[in-house]
Structure 1
Amino acid sequence: MLGDDGGYYNTDMFSTDIRIDDLRHVISEKSKGENSIFHSEYKRLPAGNAEKCTAGRKQENVTKNRFKTTFPYDHSRIILNEEWSENDNDYVNANYIKDFTGERTYIAAQGPKDVTLMDFWRLLWQENVRFIVMLTNLVENGKNKCIQYWPEKDHVLAVGPCYIKLLKETVYAFHIHRTFNVEQHNSNKRTITQFHYTAWPDHGIPEEHGLVQFHRAVTKKHQTGGLMLVHCSAGVGRTGTFIGLDSLLKQGLKTGRINVFEFVKQMREDRMTMVQTVGQYIFLHKALLLGCQQTDTNVAEEDISEKFSSLLQDNLPLKQSFLYKEHKLLQSLKESNGEKDEKDVEKAENMNKEIKMNVPLDSKNRPFLTSCVTGRDDYINAVYVPSYTSPNAFILRQYPLKDTEIDLWRLCVDHDVHALVILDDTGKEIPWIPQKSSTSCCSSFTLTSGYTDSNINGVHQSSLEISIEEQNKKLDVLRIPSEDDVAILKGVEILMEKEKSIKFTSITLSKNGASPAGIFCVLHNVLQQLRMDKEVDIFTAVRQIQTRIPEVITKLDEYSRCYKRVLLWKTEDQIYANM
């Protein structure tokens, strides 16, 4: 078959019915070339037909549409039956969407505007929606994407006959989980759950791992049987991508096969432009691949002691042990970091800014230096890593070289860093930090160490003040021996306590910026998860950090150590609880 680029393709590669076991290979083959098979497939999808949207184009409804060319099809649009005010009509920009079985399972809607707030709540009430997935932030790049259709905590929002209260709001690194109570005059009460994904970049695509984890969180809470309302801003691009992920994952896990092209085509029969870009279309395939590879690795708090002890005392031959197989799966999921910014790394002025430890740099998540220092550019070998609750809680960094110390202090000031966590087993003095009660200079920066310090369970705590011109930045400094289990856990506990009061960013340093720092972050994140959700998922915590730094926890011993330290934490927790 002749392709768009004038070359010839094997017609088998145009098959859109895909076995799950073949998905990785199919993605690889269909991605080849500038005019890839994915692009050809996407062009074959039906475009929107505004002629089938008579209600949405009526003069009285034009202001209710967020975008001038995105309307609901008449045959599948939600028709509002109950009027809450004298100006109400039956129109809202939303459609029923079928799942892979052909059943109406979803409502795809645009994000409400000021003039459609009441229509949105009429829709939720009429369709008895108990579950909302929100995929946009209220404002992105300075543009309003959706109004806030729920109240702040301890306030009541009155919309028509409905009174809405925010019962609970839990903030995670990449999403927020909210619960609303909705009550009408007649005391008819309902509870609505909202999952709000906050990490989808405008006009871009999110990290596959992040969205798949968000989908897992949604799936754990969503009760089948009721309609799931999904919305972004226009209600077509991100909305279509998420619905595709949800329905096709269910199909793939049930039947072993998926057909992304046919499902997107089916969605577009009910709402125009679902899955809005070829980038979203390709992303959907990749997210499905990752979703089909995921296993349930959560362990409930009450099962940790028994299960982790059993895993760590496993007497089976090494290659038959559970931890070996789990770690092997992690290694197989890990791909080379395609976002490494080779141009920055290879610049002559940057060649001496790294210890040659083969640790890739993820340019998407690299902090850029903004303070001006003569002879220095914006490059630093460091990567943002999320915690369980914050997308930029950690910056992983290798020890500075003599001529890159200045960049570490620029990083602290430019990115409002609160703590340095230094993982070190040498016990020697650190040459780039002044000794207690001393001051040193590094270019235009003045460094002053505090007058007091302490040592608790092996964690040496002190303070450091960085001054430049009239700007002063005070940091906590935690020096922790990376091989000391008790000290590592104490360091995690100290950080978690500090994070309770303010939004906290830590630079975590180890010799190569990878393994010890990565293990520390994994432990921090799973212990945060334990405190918040009463469960832990070490596999997923490691996987999340490996998407930023693949060289983290590459050895089975390092992976086992994460289990060992969580078990130690849990054991000591129980001892103190019983005292």
Structure 2
Amino acid sequence: MDNKKKNRYKNILPYDSTRVVLRKSAELSDYINANFIDGYSQLRKFIATQGPLTRTSEDFWRMVWEQESLIIVMLANVMEGGKAKCAKYWPEFGKSCTYGGYNVQTVNEENRGFYILRTIHLKESGNEYASPTRKIQHFQYIRWPDHGVPLITSSLIRMHNKVNAEYGDLVKDKTFPIIVHCSAGAGRTGAYIGFDILRDEMQSLNQVNVYRAVLNMRNQRMDMVQNMKQYVLLHKLLSECHALGSTGFKPSELNERIAQHTMLMKEFDNLNLILPMTTTKKIALQHSNKLVNKDINILPYDHSAVFIAIQNKEEAAPYLNASIISEYMVNESTIVAQDPLPINVDVFWRAVVDNNVNIIVMLSQPGNGETQDTCLPYYPQENGINKKYGEISVTQMEECTEQGYVQRKLQVVTITHLQCVFWKEVLKPDDMRNLLNLIAVVGHFEDRIWECSYSLLLCFHSDGAGRSGVFCALNNLIQRLRAEDEIDVFRTVKDLRDMRPHMVRSFDNYMTCYKGLAEFRSSFDTYANI
């Protein structure tokens, strides 16, 4: 009866035949909601378990210690959608806690964008000389929704690669199970372990059997891979690994790769090999919305459509050709949009207000909007002038010209408006430096805004795919280069395309990403101080 209280969900229970049995004592039970799962060629390679409850955190660390595990993969957040999904069973960075007979200390924490890598020291408490301290690597993937799947895949594959690299180094001395959990320890946990099993099978046999792999896991723990979305995700992950291979590289290889023009052209063409998991565009294709799409090939996916609140007397929310794009850092997002059109400038400003946009980056040149690269005036043109766009009133408060851009303060909520003036048809070397400077300036503003509130960046140019894609890609690439000292232009662009079609639209755009990184590396000290 006491064991029932240790289950997070009453319908996800461990099978007796494969359950992890803890050492029993007069005070402690041998029960924990966890099962051993075989890898492709290694028995009991994994332990699949539920997210610990507060009352079972001690049992969790007992399991880690007794099984001599050195790697934990966490695929959930402590809170999701306002609901508790897992106890916070580790201390804050720099602090230590005691869980029963074990002392746990978080000695390092690195933000790798979509996942956090922690180093945790674990030892038996009570007698500091009783046993040596063990170093646990704790990987927490923070962008995988419960019962759903990540919209983009590269960061999950990247984390899996890192886990396997760590595991490969550690098992040279002694094998141990990798502990994997989400909330229930079934859906996301099953998809992650299934990916590992199938990736090994693919490398060994050059073929996979997803159905058999999931069935085998379910024979060891119930409901592993809980729904169709997660089952499809397995196929997408495997398809990408097979068709795309490894595309990341060290910064020292950048100039050598830029010189391989033919290879990069093939790499760019490969962006079309694997489609996003969800490609529906029902909202954009509605007859009433056709007039506000500049390019029929650049339509936002439904899953990343921008929120605009319904007002009185409206039967449906208005539509804007714009998409929400996830950035490298998990707490940052960008709205990428096409240029405002005469018939929807008011909707553009409603999107700005409803999404709490604090920074607008305009990559188009001012004009009448009749040519591809010119944008009609959608804000007051002089200081002190106020204009109304529907129900929204916009006032230009300040304007100053900086190197490569014009900075304005627009008052709706307070908005920083950065208008790029250097990007003509072709980017010259000085223009590339101006682009990097603009990205750095935007990052500086974002850091200041994030200290006090949640906000969004809105970036647009023409169709919202070419230059906007380059801007987003370079921003993400620079952030990852700084955090991990690694580069993957291909997957960065692929992830952007999973959120909005044709991002980084041309090969010239693609090369701009590479050349922008080369310029950033050669001038790192300059941009690091902005």
**TM-score scaled by length of structure 2:** 0.88
Matches within 5 A, 1:48-447: 59-81=1-23, 83=25, 87-185=27-125, 186-187=127-128, 188-207=132-151, 209-210=153-154, 211-223=156-168, 225=171, 226-301=176-251, 303=252, 307-314=253-260, 321-333=262-274, 335=275, 338-342=278-282, 344-370=283-309, 372=311, 375=314, 377-390=317-330, 392-425=332-365, 431-437=377-383, 438-447=385-394
Asked whether the equivalents of residues 133 and 228 of structure 1 are also in contact (C-alpha less than 8 Å), the reply is yes
The SS at the match of 2:23 is: coil
Question: Which residue does the alignment assign to 2:464?
Answer: 513
Residue 455 of structure 1 pairs with residue 402 of structure 2: yes
Matches within 5 A, 1:494-533: 494-501=441-448, 502=450, 504-533=455-484
1:262–1:215 distance in 2 versus 1, CA, 3 Å: same
The offset of 1:452, in angstroms, is 4.1
Is the contact made by 1:208 and 1:287 (CA closer than 8 Å) also made in structure 2? no
Contact 1:150 1:166 in 2 (8 A): yes
Q: Using the alignment, how far apart are the partners of 2:366 and 2:353 within structure 1? A: 28
1:504–1:492 CA distance, 2 compared to 1 (3 A):
farther
CA 1:279 to 1:430, structure 2 compared with 1: closer, same or farther past 3 Å? closer
SS of the counterpart of 1:137? coil
C-alpha distance in structure 2 between counterparts of 1:383 and 1:353, whole Å: 14
What SS class does the counterpart of residue 58 from structure 2 fall into? helix
* Residue aligned with 2:254, SS: helix
Output one character per residue of 1:294-353: Cα deviation in whole Å (capped at 9) or x when no partner: 43322323x0xxx33333334xxx6xx2212211222323x37853332x2344442322
CA contact (8 A) 2:284 2:299 kept: no
Aligned partner of residue 205 in structure 1, secondary structure: coil
Equivalents in 2 of 1:336, 1:262: separation in Å? 25
SS at match of 2:523: helix
Are the counterparts in 1 of residues 342 and 376 from structure 2 also a CA contact under 8 Å?
A: no
Instruction: Please give the per-residue CA displacement for 1:17-51, whole angstroms capped at 9, x wherever unaligned.
Output: xxxxxxxxxxxxxxxxxxxxxxxxxxxxxxxxxxx
Aligned-partner residue type, residue 11 of structure 2: T
1:41 aligns to what?
Answer: none
The residue type equivalent to 1:248 in the other structure is L
Contact 1:498 1:504 in 2 (8 A): no
Between the two proteins, what is the percent identity of the paired residues? 30
Q: Which runs of 5+ in 2 are unaligned?
A: 368-373
* Structure 1 residues 60-110: Cα deviation after superposition (integer angstroms, max 9, x where no partner): 211111222322222221111165xx6311111111111111422101111
Query: Is contact 2:71-2:179 (8 Å) kept?
Result: yes
8 Å CA contact 2:112, 2:483 repeated in 1: no
Q: How far apart, in 1, do the equivalents of 2:227 and 2:19 lie?
A: 23
Farther-moved stretch of structure 1 (412-421 vs 211-220): 211-220
Q: Which runs of 5+ in 1 are unaligned?
A: 1-58, 467-472
**Structure 2 Cα separation of the partners of residues 442 and 276 of structure 1:** 47
What is the rounded CA distance, in whole Å, between the counterparts of 1:536 and 1:239 in structure 2?
28
After TM superposition, give the deviation of residue 288 of structure 1 in Å. 1.6
**Residue identity in the other structure for 2:292:** K
What is the DSSP-based 3-state SS (H/G/I as helix, E as strand, rest coil) of the residue aligned with 2:218? Answer: helix
Q: Partners of 1:162 and 1:516 in 2: how far apart?
A: 53
- Give the equivalent residue in structure 2 for 1:10: none
Do the aligned partners of residues 517 and 465 (structure 1) sit closer, same or farther apart at CA in structure 2, a change above 3 Å counting?
same
Per-residue CA deviations over 1:223-244 (Å, capped at 9, x if unaligned) read 4523210011221221111101
SS of residue paired to 1:89: coil
Paired with 1:575 and 1:240, the residues of 2 have a C-alpha distance of 46
Aligned-residue RMSD, C-alpha: 2.5
Map 1:459-474 → 2, pairs under 5 A: 459-466=405-412, 473-474=413-414
| Distance across 2 between alignment mates of 1:216 and 1:531 | 19
What SS does the aligned partner of 1:553 have?
coil
Aligned length: 500
TM-score, with normalisation over the residues of structure 1? Answer: 0.80
Whether the 8 Å CA contact 2:147–2:187 is kept in 1: the answer is: no
For the 8 Å contact 2:195–2:237, the answer to whether it is kept is: yes
